[in-house]
Amino acid sequence: MIQSGRASLTVVSTETDPALISEILGLVPTRVALRGSVRRSGRPLEHNVWTIDVEQSPNADADADETGTQALRDLVTGARPAIGKLSRLPDDCDAKIWWSADSDSTQGGFVLRAELAASIAELGVDVYATVYLEGGESTEAEQ
């Protein structure tokens, strides 16, 4: 079962200033990286990155909520002011939701409830998802 997750709404732009993205969307980012700033690798960033993050969010009540999508739900709820506005971003902007989750088993099942899918659709942005699985222990037969 999904134990925790992280989610981000990210807008990448080649020219549009992140301050304009905030103005258009009516949201304040949790972080911004400007084109030309130096990455950890030492290479300059080739685009602007505007992001709202929901950091590590535990699956609130695993017994009552087996969906495993708490961080994604929190992000979508926080991004509601941007409904209908993402399509107004300039053409050089690309918006995505990134969601990742940690499973306590070698299967990473989650449920994307219809209400959550509808809320994502209202935002008009695609979700890129990854579930990280707990590594299984090999048996003698597998060795």
Number of domains in the chain: 1
Which residues are paired to 101 by β-bridges?
A: 5, 131
Q: Has residue 140 been placed in a domain?
A: no
Q: Has residue 64 been placed in a domain?
A: yes
Query: What DSSP letter does each residue of 87-117 carry, written as one string?
Result: GGS-TTEEEEEEEEEEESSS-------HHHH
Q: Has residue 139 been placed in a domain?
A: no
**Could you tell me the residue range of the domain that residue 30 belongs to?**
2-133
User: Rounded to two decimals, what is the model's pTM?
Assistant: 0.83
Q: Has residue 81 been placed in a domain?
A: yes
Q: Cα 31 to chain center, whole Å? A: 13
The string of pLDDT tens digits covering residues 77-115 is 999 999 999 999 999 999 999 998 887 777 767 788 899
Three-class DSSP category at 83? coil
The string of pLDDT tens digits covering residues 119-136 is 999 999 999 988 778 754
